[in-house]
Structure 1
Amino acid sequence: MEYKNYCISDVLTVREAMKAIDSADPKIVFIVTEKKLIASLTDGDIRRYLLNGGQLTDLAIAASNKMPKYASSLDEAVSLYHEKNFVAIPIVDSFRNIEDIYIGKLYFNEQLADLNVPVVINAGGKGTRLEPYTKILPKPLIPVGELPIIEHIMQRFSEYGCSKFSMIVNYKKEMMKAYFGNDKQYDITWYDEQKPLGTGGGLCYLKGKINETFFFTNCDNLLLSNYESMLRFHRENHNVITMICAYKNIKIPYGVIEMGLNGSIEAMKEKPELSFLTNTGIYIVEPEVLDDIEYNVPIGFPDIIENERKKGKKVAIYPVSENEWLDMGQLSELEKMRVKLYGE
């Protein structure tokens, strides 16, 4: 990728900058006026800005680091990059105009943190949105490329040193157990639902079994975000539940009209883009939450979150980019997920 692709204008919004960061590797862009370096911007900068009340429609410069590191030569850039653990170093002239950007190789061999946190996977649903496939296979075993979705999820957690899995199962559970068989790669404890308990009710079986912070996920989502950052956010903010939410941007293919009194036109927007946060079905949870779940009573996990919130306990959102969230809950998304994981 040419260095100019890492440069964005100082008039872009946060939403527009997020799209530029999503297409960059590493995930950083530099804000420029003409060619002059003004600031740097990462997905972490944007996340902090939004968590502090910033809006997607604000100018990206408001979320940026206005004191970015830079070098005046390639040798200086190489030295800065390798000594200070930066992911990209702009090379500028005497007027701070960007002439190149050094992106070394260490970034691509990034060592992931060893979190060693238990993982609970809710894998008991029927997957009706994926019929007719789920008439034959349980949703977690539907293949995405070379592996079933559930193994993609488990491999991602394993990369962070998370090796203990609790699997809540119901529909076609024997096929699930047969697939993993005597596989020693994963340490799995199985919990059989006696009846369908929704997206949260099956957690009742883990009371007294988990006594530390754990990840809880549905079986049809894969997150490419940094799990260490999510866990750090959860712990530093003393949350009992952190809900991982993805920003979704949808462009309405019509002109949108806002109507006022007596049919008057209040506003007109031509093909506006809407942005909102959506629940990914992935959470970080404290074990005390399990004590509040009734035994064998169906409940959705969002309802559990609401119950905790009403009790005055701290629940929060950790936002991620929509490109970091892969959802195979619908047939139309299966191929998109495969391409994202394996390429064309």
Structure 2
Amino acid sequence: MNHSELCVSHTTTIRDAMRQLNSTAKKIIFVLNDDKLYGTLTDGDIRRFLLAGGRMDALAADAAHLHPRTAENAEQARALLRGEGGDLTAVPVVKADNTLVDILLGPDSAQTSPLPQLALPVVIMAGGMGKRLDPYTRILPKPLIPIGDLPIIEHIMQRFLRYGCTEFHIVVNYKKGLLKAYFNDSQQDYHICWYDEVQPLGTGGGLSLLKGRLDKTFFFTNCDILLRSDYAKMAEFHQTNHNAVTIVGACKNMTIPYGVVEMGKGGVITAFREKPELSFLTNTGLYLVEPEVLEDIPEDKSQGFPDIIEGQRQKGRRTAVYPVSEEEWLDMGQMEELEKMRRRFGEG
């Protein structure tokens, strides 16, 4: 059987390996040196590599797990898939010289295993005017703009509900009556606390309304993004590292559509790159936050949440980034991105 979609060369960049990884439902790819198995690569391997200071233009070989479970024949591979607590989704069959012969696929563990129940509070910042989505937001507040059969805010909430997060704190301002009325008319298996901004307080200032209301780690999200990532792993990273704030950052790749010239002293050309691809770690607008951070936020002051994070850094508190693939980040903050999100949900 041809499993080329599950294989990359050891000289493939991390950037391209991540793209390949996102294209397969198995969430694992096999790194080959010619036809020989070099190692395996998962999103966790790439995340650990990046957190250790690795770069997106490094080689897949640098981040690969070099000692994966292998089998000598198909029967042995099936036995491994049945065992190991069901953790293995694919097992490579190799010859004695490590030449890859076949890959046997197991069931999709993401669909068969129940998700961890985190039961963490969720704060949603839903008070903005959504000017970039005009004229839609002249009629509806941004959280109620439909994506498929549901408004974006319900997509966000349903994602958290899958992880047992049923306590929602929603900060509102613009067209707040419509938003509240929508949820008053719906049947709910969760609880919402509403917080009314008297004046716009920015993406961070509205959190001052929650002082004294939360006593444990909470998720904090903008109302125009959705992450198709593992929220349990995010929470584990945040709590294990004792972070005050964790930013969920997407590895964004951009191609410069021109030849780029690097210049040295006297105008001497030192390098020339044709349409280079650059990688950035972009703030998705999803965070994990400790409740003590709320106590440092001044009341009635408009400020962005990045300013609050910088204040925590200045206090010496640990702030960190949890990297995810850009394919896991759905953004509707701008008209073009809104249409992309709708296509991803099967609209048009």
Is TM-score (shorter-chain normalized) higher than 0.5? yes
Matched, 1:331 2:335: yes
Q: 1:186 offset after TM fit, Å?
A: 2.7
**Displacement after TM superposition at 1:95 (Å):** 2.8
Structure 2: which 5+ runs fail to align?
Answer: none
Instruction: Name the counterpart of 1:225.
Output: 229
- Which one of the candidate residues 295, 300, 308 is aligned to 1:296? 300
Say which is worse superposed, 100-109 or 62-71, in terms of deviation: 100-109
2:136 and 2:299 map into 1 onto residues whose CA distance is: 31
Which of 74, 85, 88 in structure 2 is aligned with 1:86?
88
TM-score, normalised to structure 2, is 0.96
Give the unaligned 5+ runs of structure 1: none
Letter in 2 for 1:103: L
- The residue that corresponds to 1:174 in the other structure is 177
Aligned equivalents of 2:190, 2:339: Cα separation in 1: 27
Partner of 1:19: 19
Deviation at 1:2, TM superposition (A): 4.1
Match of 1:149 in 2: 152
What secondary structure sits across from 2:17 in the alignment? helix
Q: Percentage identity across aligned positions?
A: 54
How far residue 74 of structure 1 moved from its aligned partner, in angstroms, is 2.2
What SS does the aligned partner of 1:288 have? helix
> Alpha-carbon deviation of 1:206?
0.7
TM-fit CA distance, 1:73: 2.2
1:12-39 CA-to-partner distances (Å, cap 9, x unmatched) read: 1211211111112111111112221110
| 1:123 correspondence with 2:126 | yes
The CA distance in 2 between the partners of 1:27 and 1:119, in whole Å, is 27
SS at match of 2:202: coil
CA contact (8 A) 2:92 2:100 kept: yes
1:249 corresponds, among 235, 241, 253, to 253
CA deviations over 1:170-199 (Å, ceiling 9, x no partner): 000000001111532331110000100000
Mean Cα displacement is larger for which, 168-177 or 89-98? 89-98
Q: Secondary structure at the match of 1:177?
A: helix
Number of aligned residue pairs: give it. Answer: 344
Q: 3-state DSSP class of the match of 1:276?
A: strand
| 1:27-86 CA-partner distances (Å, limit 9, x unpaired) | 111111222111001110011011011111221111111001111222222221231121
Asked if 1 retains the 8 angstrom alpha-carbon contact of 2:31 and 2:39, the reply is yes
C-alpha distance in structure 1 between counterparts of 2:27 and 2:188, whole Å = 35
Aligned 1:30-179 pairs, distance under 5 A? 30-84=30-84, 85-107=87-109, 108-179=111-182
What TM-score, normalized to structure 1? 0.97
Distance 1:267 1:69 in 2: 43
SS of residue matched to 1:37: strand
Q: What is the distance in 1 between the residues matched to 2:243 and 2:78?
A: 40
Offset at 1:262?
3.5
Q: Distance in 2 between matches of 1:96 and 1:267?
A: 40
What is the distance in 2 between the residues matched to 1:181 and 1:287? 28
Counterpart of 1:269 in structure 2 is: 273
Deviations 1:241-268 (A, max 9, x none): 0000001101111101123334332321
Q: Cα distance, 1:94 vs. partner?
A: 3.1
SS, match of residue 267 in structure 1:
strand
CA distance in 2, matches of 1:263, 1:73: 61
The structure 1 residue matched to 2:289, chosen from 285, 299, 321, is 285
Name which of 303, 312, 317 aligns with 2:316: 312
Whether contact under 8 Å (2:89, 2:107) holds in the other structure is no
Deviation of 1:343 after TM superposition, in Å, equals 7.6
Calculate the aligned-residue CA RMSD, in Å: 1.4
Q: The residue matched to 2:251 in structure 1 has which SS?
A: strand
Q: Residues 343 and 10 from structure 1, CA distance in 2 versus in 1: closer, same or farther, beyond 3 angstroms?
A: farther
Inter-partner Cα distance in structure 1 for 2:72 and 2:310: 53
Inter-partner Cα distance in structure 2 for 1:33 and 1:150: 46
With over 3 angstroms needed to count, the CA separation of the structure-2 counterparts of 1:265 and 1:17, relative to structure 1, is same
